Structure 1
């Protein structure tokens, strides 16, 4: 699978350079072009194809949302990720078809999540996702208990807790210990809405009911089967993921 060709657009030169460096460091990205204003971006997009465009919103003249709407009218539009300091435009951004909405300052792991979304949304990624879904043995986890095998659907799992080479799957019916590395579950479950929030925890975004502070000032994600600690390095990414899920309407029916 070939690397992504992406365009970064921002009228603030230091922010544009920082985004360029982060994009170039991604193993999923093969080519990064930059533009300091929407008009220059349109010229580049007219002259050569891009898989995705990373757009700032607040720019003079044509802002990022207006540019995104123009790109959406193309016969073969690039995917759009908004990169902005303003959280209030998320609903509008997803309304015009953005695949992600990343808040500044941009964290490398949060940008990596956006790139994974782009990859899954490209024709090659969609084909790979369909192929993976056809053989996704980890959509249901077999649990051995007392000589019997119980099958736990991924949809029932609220969060995963690592215990060495094992993980504990936390569900409304109880916790189930399984011999599998948490890194393997993360690899297979990211597309299903699970994110790493701590070195020992994988969390289902749809299961989060609220964020709380613990007695020491740390962050906890509250679910109907317990609280999950969120490390400082993952806190911003989790908030971004929750905001994106809310903007997409993922919580409208409530958590299962």
Structure 2
């Protein structure tokens, strides 16, 4: 299976080092960062987007209960495991959808149970093959009214509606689908996206949903760029050979 990425947020150095040592005994656990207060912890989480967070409650600047709410707002799929010396916060922790609540001093067997829960939850699903199977079933339907593209996002399969797609692009031999706010991975090829969904092939590495263009401007050497109406105002190149085709489609 893939590594389970984890962040530790704990202000006590001895507890941090002990927990770090215990976690590194599991070959599938990867510690991607450590923070010692709530604010730097949140910044670290936004930067690394881990699978799980081992979080103390009594930490400076922002306590663990408050931080857990911010974590869930950022990414509800992140598992939170509270590690604390106090029993009285357990009910509140589980109300906040914590995966587990571990009391200090750490007990190896108790942590092992938690790690097993993480392992079972994050067992690698062969998502690319599952997506391919979905695509094949969609393609084989004589009447295909499902106007969506199966994609991968944080270990889940998401069916993204065509109207929500702004453009698709290739990077490192993978194909990504960009919506207004998110980026997904798909096993569709660029040719298949272009032909099946009538996206415009602006460039060898890009296909575009023309309904979601914001503006068009001349770039250099006869090429143009599209500005998309997504959250980043993404710029998509138009190769010189495709400029005329696009102008004809837009009636320019």
TM range (shorter): 0.3 to 0.5
Using CA pairs below 8 Å that are at least 6 residues apart, which structure has the higher relative contact order? 1
What is the TM-score of this pair, normalised by structure 2?
A: 0.47
What is the TM-score of this pair, normalised by structure 1?
A: 0.46
Larger Rg: 2
